[in-house]
Amino acid sequence: MRQKGPARSGIHAKRPPGRPRSEQARLAILRSALSLLGKNGFSDLTIEAVAAHAKVGKATVYRWWPDKAALIADAFASSTTPRLHFPDTGSVRTDMSQQMRQLVKVFRSPRGRIVSALLGGGQSDKNLIAAFRQRFLWPRREEAYATLRRAVQRGELRKNIDMDLLLDSLYGPIYMRFLIRHDNLTPEFIDGLCRLVLDGASPNGKAKHGRLQ
């Protein structure tokens, strides 16, 4: 379930200066997939359209991705991952709140339409939601586990804490507000959510270390 996707690697004796043409094509495909998804949605997106937009052959797309679900999930992940790394400030509340605030910024940006398309299309396309989990959700989840383990070692969280339940309790309300839109996603909401959930997960029922910044 938490298995990461296969790493892409290759050994070459010599490479010319700059990015290889294949890497340029791969990046062009990722950009094209995001652009077309934002305009047309998941159901109307085709590999042929992405290839034409990126000015590559259809076979070039299939060289890296088995289907459009994997392509779209990879495109979204590659465009957002640099902003969603977890910090290591020495305070679990600060670490989590800063990362969660960044996630909210992604959801409130034009990338939010892509998240909606991924989650909406994933309800009827098992390949799409599986690709979203494998290529976006689980890598973030693994980083979150490391953050929580550090907090356990510092004594901020109980040693027997259910990390999956804790993370679902933190991130579930974000996805609910994003999808249902019954209330706003604000920094204050994130601060209150972290305080409520992490205080309850601390050894004494309240956070012992650090303040939100």
1 band by pLDDT with thresholds 50, 70 and 90: very low
Residue of 79, 81, 82 lying closest to 29 (CA atoms)? 79
pLDDT, one tens digit per residue, over 166-206 is 999 999 999 999 999 999 999 999 999 999 999 999 998 75
Checking if the pLDDT of 16 tops 60, the result is no
Tokens standing for residue 169: 């309790």
Q: How many CB atoms lie within 10 A of CB 72?
A: 27
Same domain, residue pair 91 and 55: no
User: What was the pLDDT predicted at 20?
Assistant: 55
pLDDT, one tens digit per residue, over 98-112 is 999 999 999 999 889
> 127: buried, middle or exposed (CB in 10 Å: 19+, 13-18, 0-12)?
middle
For Cα atoms 43, 47, 53, give the angle at the middle one, nearest 5 degrees.
105
Percent of all residues in the chain with a pLDDT value above 90, rounded to a whole number: 72
| Residues 159-166, mean pLDDT to the nearest whole number | 96
Q: How many domains does the chain have?
A: 2
pLDDT, one tens digit per residue, over 24-51 is 999 999 999 999 987 877 888 899 999 9
Same domain, residue pair 163 and 83: yes
**What phi-psi label fits residue 7: left (phi over 0), alpha (psi between -120 and 50 degrees) or beta?**
beta
Same domain, residue pair 88 and 45: no
Same domain, residue pair 105 and 44: no
Q: What is the largest CA-CA distance in the chain?
A: 60
pTM of the predicted model as reported, rounded to 2 decimal places: 0.81
User: What was the pLDDT predicted at 44?
Assistant: 87
Residue 44: which residues within 8 A CB-CB, separation 6 or more?
none
Task: Return mean pLDDT, the chain.
Answer: 87
Which residues constitute the domain of residue 94?
79-201
User: What was the pLDDT predicted at 21?
Assistant: 62
Whether 210 maps to a domain, the answer reads no
The CATH number assigned to the domain holding 171 equals: 1.10.357.10
Given a contact cutoff of 8 angstroms between Cβ atoms, the answer to whether 10 and 41 are in contact is: no
